[in-house]
Amino acid sequence: EIKTIKEIAEGLNQPLYLVGGFLRDIFLSRKNFDLDFIVKNETLTIATKAVKIFRAKLIVMDKEHIVNYRVVKRGLSIDFSEIFKRDIHIDLARRDFTINSIAYCLDDEQLYDDFNGIKDLKGRLIRMVSRDAFDRDSLRMLRAARYFTTLKDFQIDKDTFSCIISKRELITNSSSERIKDEMDKIILSDSPLKGLALVLKTGL
């Protein structure tokens, strides 16, 4: 699928970047069937072509205030969105945690790791990209608890933990549906009590 999408993007002269959880899980040797791509232009065109080739379904989403096109087929989910302000560095600076702020350009095979995400993966550390990460999306605080639960031997960075406690009231800004989705992932994990204890400890 990655090779096919790369060929579609090349046909439109669009640099293609693979980002987020898929890259994170490659480093952690974890299975992940969700692909996240960002491009500068022609996002919908690329997604539409992928739908036809894969005989899949197209879903238009508003993901953290960014229009996101999701191509869904059985056992696989592929997201396409535009690079924020068409600058890969600005885009990565807006992401939640350093371990998710890694990008790989399929054109020049260059890895972008502006916030030492690989170092934090090796150190098993969940660390916010910036202090306003939770202001932009308060659900990220609960997501930190989910990663703490589902990623083996990971800990939350001290500054990140303190920031969650100080901004915990912001969680009410997130929709109940999104909160339920994160809580379901914690409860259905292999260590639900570990995650639920953290949710109580932080006051979320």
Residues 44, 8 contacting (CB under 8 angstroms): no
pLDDT at 132 over 70: yes
Percent of the chain with pLDDT over 70: 99
User: What does the pLDDT look like over 140-157, one tens digit per residue?
Assistant: 999 999 999 999 999 999
What confidence tens digit (pLDDT) does each residue in 7-27 have? Answer: 999 999 999 999 989 999 999
pTM: 0.92
Q: What is the pLDDT of residue 61?
A: 86
Helices (H), the chain: 2-11, 21-27, 43-54, 88-93, 117-122, 133-136, 139-150, 158-166, 176-187, 192-202
Question: Looking at residues 182-203, what average pLDDT do you find?
Answer: 97
- pLDDT value for 63: 62
**Are 111 and 157 contacting, i.e. CB atoms less than 8 angstroms apart?**
no
